[in-house]
Amino acid sequence: MKKRNVALVLAATMMLSLAGCAGSSEKVEDTKKAQTETENKTEEKEDAVQIDGALSIYCGAGMQQPFQEIADAFQEETGCEMNVTYANAAQIQTQIQESQEGDFFIAGSKEELKPVEEFVTSSEDLVKHIPVLVVKEGNEKNIQGLNDLAREDVVTVIGDPESTPIGKIAKKAFEDFQIGEKVTIAATTTTAPQLATVVGLGEADAAIIWKENAKADGVEICNTTDLDNYVKVIPAARLSFNENADAADTFSEFLETEAAHKIWESYGYELVK
């Protein structure tokens, strides 16, 4: 009996030892895998082009979230300092004309480059800028399209037609649908994101905004094709004041990478190419 007990103890001990070895082996494999991943990331970082200096970029306020992610990703990859100014188109145009500084202008539409075209050396189309009609979540007013904005019980807000691309689109759409005189406009805003906030808070029933701004709380996109003909294209315009050609070239290339494309797409933009 004593021998049998000893044999059982030895067998149990061996099993525990084997289990321990298996566990240790798994831990070693996990450690090796983690080390390999770290080494690969380090090598990728070392292989990435490192850039001295900085880039100064103007960008429409409505694109702040996706573009800041792109700028941060480029800075992390290259070490190039990214200084981005966000404002409406009119403010940026004035700043470019008066300061005559900056490397790029990321505009809400190609039309916004015209007032500063003498300072633009090249331009690349990035993504489509899609206008949509948004209403208060739940759509209690049963707004189905632009013509409903002419109803007496519907209050609308629009972007400033003098300073924002989305405001110009709203004004043009109202003219095309012949409702400009009938739309009750409660207010205009200087940036596109403010429009979604106003509707979300219930201070207006509807607004024409960019698709990426429709993720705001309290709003939903109206299912209509009324604005399909007003889709714009966001350009990356290189300015003549640029002194760091290597940095500008590398950033232009980065804007065409899958990493940059995925950021745009995650916010609802559609690629041009």
pLDDT digits (tens, 9 = 90+) for 163-189: 899 999 999 999 999 999 999 999 999
In a domain, 13, yes or no: no
Are the beta carbons of 112 and 93 closer than 8 angstroms? Answer: yes
Task: Give the residue with greater pLDDT, 44 vs 202.
Answer: 202
Asked if residue 214 and residue 92 are part of one domain, the reply reads no
pTM for this predicted structure: 0.73
pLDDT of residue 223: 94
pLDDT of residue 17: 46
Q: Which domain holds residue 217?
A: 131-230
Asked if residue 225 and residue 144 are part of one domain, the reply reads yes
Tell me how far apart the alpha carbons of residues 110 and 152 are, in angstroms, rounded to a whole number: 35
In sequence order, which residues have a C-beta less than 8 Å from that of residue 124 and are 6 or more positions away? 235, 236, 252, 255, 256
Name the domain count of the chain.
2
Q: Span 61-86, mean pLDDT?
A: 95
Query: What CATH code is carried by the domain that includes residue 82?
Result: 3.40.190.10
Structure tokens at 22: 């298996």
In a domain, 11, yes or no: no
pLDDT of residue 216: 86
Tell me how far apart the alpha carbons of residues 215 and 71 are, in angstroms, rounded to a whole number: 21
In a domain, 79, yes or no: yes
Asked if residue 243 and residue 216 are part of one domain, the reply reads no
Q: Span 210-222, mean pLDDT?
A: 91
Condensed to tens digits (0 to 9), the pLDDT of residues 17-55 reads 444 444 545 544 655 555 555 454 444 444 556 888 899
Tell me how far apart the alpha carbons of residues 111 and 264 are, in angstroms, rounded to a whole number: 21
In a domain, 250, yes or no: yes
In a domain, 7, yes or no: no
